[in-house]
Structure 1
Amino acid sequence: MDQQTFRQAILLLSGEHSVSILRALRDGNWHLSSEVARSLDVHITTASKFLQRFAELGLVDRRPHDARTFEYRLRSPHLRFEVNLEDEAGPLREVVDFYVEYFHSLFERIRYVGTPAIEIEMEHRLTTNHQELRKAVFDQMVDGTEAGLDRLRELVAAVHRDLWNVCAQGLGANSAKGVFQAALRDAIAAHPDLALRCGLTRPLEG
């Protein structure tokens, strides 16, 4: 378990009813959230919210019961946490690395095309107009929240649009599209699993 998941699990387990909800699953059988709520005399929304988060963190199993509901199971009545303390940044560092790889490849390909005026303007836009992106990178490394990752993607999308406008005006839309798509392929090739799992290509498409 990475440190971010561990922090989320501890925060969730500190919530009211969380341990009681887990104990309701200790028999190892599959249960609906409505069954858990009824056995504990809590609102079904409360039970459903906790069970969904437990499943997302990998603490319980989840499977579809029908088209609208899920059922949950606790694999063991004993919860054990194994936390990787060696790499503080964990996958967040890889997220930043993915975008660094993309922009590095993009500028390398612009240099190869041989259009210094476009390269200079793109560098100016990146260093002058998008100071917030630099701050977000450091905040994301420290905070490590999912909301922070969403914000980082938004900022990257804004940078991408800005650089695209410069490149499209200088090279034409078709040539610019080829350069940007090639840079994206380079970044995906360097981090294929991460790119898919975290949706990192979304800000760079379109």
Structure 2
Amino acid sequence: MKTKVSIIFIFIFSLTFSQKTNPIIYGDLGIGYARDLTKNGGILQYGSLNYQNKKNLFTFRYSEINQLGVSFVNMGLLALPILSNDIKMEEIALLYGWRFIDDNFSYSFSAGLSSNNYIQKLKTEDGNYYKDKSQYIGVPFEFGIKWFKSKKSPYRIYELIPVGKPIGLGNSIGFKFLGNISKHSYIGLGIDFGIGYHKEY
């Protein structure tokens, strides 16, 4: 897996340096909510690295879903409630799709292949907990929209403090509808924050 990722990064950067204008390359982090087909839901966290050549979009994505539960610890006459991570879903994915840009706005859609882990906390008849883990292949997909700066300007720390000369590097905000078709299919919606070169400036 590491070898394949390295080859993809080398390919991306070789294309990057062959361009006369700035490359379209950016990363994002997001948080939201997701649920699977059994209606189990949880907190969705994801991050991705994206490269665009013409309208072709290449994405490396990691996502994680944590379904929280409540367990109780006996303390004499009291039972103290604590949060527990009952189900954890992990995904490492490579996606290909298309991205369309209009001034300071873009929308994209992609699909690909992923390696997934499903980790579930279970309880035995005698009251002991153990973790059951399964690995499987999936088909990840996503649809995203983003807003970013329309022209070169000094980079702004916290979108307030301008630093340096006008450049193409900037921040973005957007929404992403994503999911995975697999043994444990899920869909989710998140808000994401990005940094990078979101268009050719």
> Which TM-score band applies after superposition, normalised by the shorter structure?
under 0.3
Q: Which has the higher helix share?
A: 1
Q: Which has the higher strand share?
A: 2
Which structure has the larger Rg?
1
Q: TM-score, normalised by structure 2?
A: 0.19
